[in-house]
């Protein structure tokens, strides 16, 4: 059965209506297919994870790089793909909108826009500009069915002001974001407060190695969980341990921890 882009977008919207689901972040087509094989209902790209695959640091990739990557991911699986679209690869709302249109054409089912500037001294765009960027993105998405995720990056940049985060996320919701996301939230109290503030719109929680379980997040009202660059770091962990052992000791024992080639061939055949 051929699954169309419209099918994937409709499926993705439905996933956000109740319960809580994990949205793991592969870095390439093989990873995307493996996650579909394992039964995940949707996946998301990772800006950092993808950047490392082409030998670049996070936030150093171009909109061309990313759109090519998103098109490859989207066409390789029958499940929805949510795009980590960073800050829209532009500052001005009109240019963000042009890039969002390009992103939508890759076939993604969802797309996120961040409010961070990349500047340590002034980490977030002014509130009014940040809201305009979400409005422009909403307009660019039009009636394509693509889900718009509004992200407040305050906590990732050390601005641990919950009131500011809630104020921004609710403004992004009013500006047309379908789902809200504030990476870096850690405590149950903060998470519950944000979930309540943006309701009935769904909230995406970023979880790393020691975070809440799926059940615990669902009990707090979280609708979806992504893991950012964590799967990529896990893969790099195995690669670097084995490579360093060879380089530094001339021994090969770490290679014994690899996933069986026969199993991989079976999964991809």
* Residue 200, preceding peptide bond in cis (omega within 30° of 0): yes
Find the angle CA(243)-CA(38)-CA(148) to the nearest 5 degrees: 95
Burial of 235 (0-12, 13-18, 19+ CB in 10 A): middle
Q: How many domains does the chain have?
A: 2
Verify that 106 and 36 share a domain, yes or no: yes
The SS3 call for residue 181 is strand
pLDDT tops 90 at residue 161: yes
Query: Would you say 100 and 29 are in contact if contact means Cβ atoms under 8 Å apart?
Result: no
Verify that 65 and 88 share a domain, yes or no: yes
Mean pLDDT of 162-168: 98
Give me the pLDDT at residue 209, please. 84
Verify that 150 and 250 share a domain, yes or no: no
Query: Would you say 161 and 154 are in contact if contact means Cβ atoms under 8 Å apart?
Result: yes
Give me the pLDDT at residue 263, please. 98
Residue 45's domain is classified under what CATH number? Answer: 3.20.20.60
Cα–Cα distance list, 54 to 43, 61, 74, 89, 103 (Å): 20, 9, 19, 18, 19
Give me the pLDDT at residue 62, please. 97
Alpha carbons 37 and 31: distance in angstroms, whole number: 10
For the range 65-72, what are the long-range contacts, defined as Cβ-Cβ under 8 Å and sequence gap of 24 or more? 66/103, 67/102, 67/103, 67/105, 67/106, 69/45, 70/45, 70/103, 70/106, 70/107, 70/108, 71/106, 71/107, 72/28, 72/29
Verify that 209 and 90 share a domain, yes or no: yes
Verify that 141 and 237 share a domain, yes or no: no
Mean pLDDT of 141-146: 98
pLDDT tops 90 at residue 1: no
Give me the pLDDT at residue 10, please. 98
pLDDT in tens, 39-78: 999 999 999 999 999 999 999 999 999 999 999 999 999 9
pLDDT in tens, 4-43: 999 999 999 999 999 999 999 999 999 999 999 999 999 9
Verify that 244 and 152 share a domain, yes or no: no
Alpha carbons 195 and 221: distance in angstroms, whole number: 6
pLDDT tops 90 at residue 145: yes
Verify that 262 and 142 share a domain, yes or no: no
Give me the pLDDT at residue 210, please. 80
| Structural domain boundaries enclosing 265 | 230-269
Alpha carbons 78 and 63: distance in angstroms, whole number: 24
Alpha carbons 35 and 42: distance in angstroms, whole number: 9
Give me the pLDDT at residue 221, please. 98
Verify that 36 and 95 share a domain, yes or no: yes
Which of 194, 130, 140 is closest to 162 using CA atoms?
A: 194
pTM score above 0.75: yes
Verify that 128 and 109 share a domain, yes or no: yes
Alpha carbons 88 and 99: distance in angstroms, whole number: 6
Verify that 171 and 256 share a domain, yes or no: no
pLDDT in tens, 76-132: 999 999 999 999 999 999 999 999 999 999 999 999 999 999 999 999 999 999 999
Give me the pLDDT at residue 251, please. 98
């Amino acid at each position: 059965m051929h699954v169309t882009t419209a099918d994937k977008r409709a499926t993705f919207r439905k996933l956000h209506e109740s319960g809580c689901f994990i949205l793991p972040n592969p870095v390439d087509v093989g990873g995307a297919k493996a996650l579909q094989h394992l039964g995940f209902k949707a996946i998301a790209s990772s800006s950092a994870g993808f950047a490392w695959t082409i030998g670049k640091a996070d936030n150093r990739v171009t909109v061309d790089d990313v759109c090519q990557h998103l098109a490859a991911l989207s066409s390789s699986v029958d499940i929805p793909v949510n795009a980590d679209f960073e800050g829209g690869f532009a500052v001005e709302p009109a240019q963000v909108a042009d890039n969002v249109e390009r992103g939508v054409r890759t076939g993604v089912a969802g797309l996120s826009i961040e409010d961070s500037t990349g500047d340590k001294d002034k980490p977030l765009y002014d509130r009014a500009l940040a809201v305009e960027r979400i409005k422009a993105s909403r307009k660019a998405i039009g009636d394509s069915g693509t889900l718009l995720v509004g992200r407040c990056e305050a906590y990732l940049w050390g601005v641990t002001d919950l009131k500011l985060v809630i104020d921004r996320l609710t403004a992004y919701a009013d500006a047309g974001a379908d789902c809200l996301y504030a990476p870096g939230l850690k405590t149950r109290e903060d998470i519950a407060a944000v979930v309540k503030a943006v309701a009935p719109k769904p909230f995406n929680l970023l979880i790393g190695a020691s975070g809440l379980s799926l059940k615990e997040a669902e009990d707090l009202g979280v609708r979806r969980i992504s893991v950012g660059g964590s799967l990529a770091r896990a893969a790099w962990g195995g690669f670097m341990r084995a490579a360093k052992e060879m380089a530094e000791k001339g021994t090969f024992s770490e290679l014994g921890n690899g996933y069986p080639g026969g199993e991989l061939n079976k999964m991809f055949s």
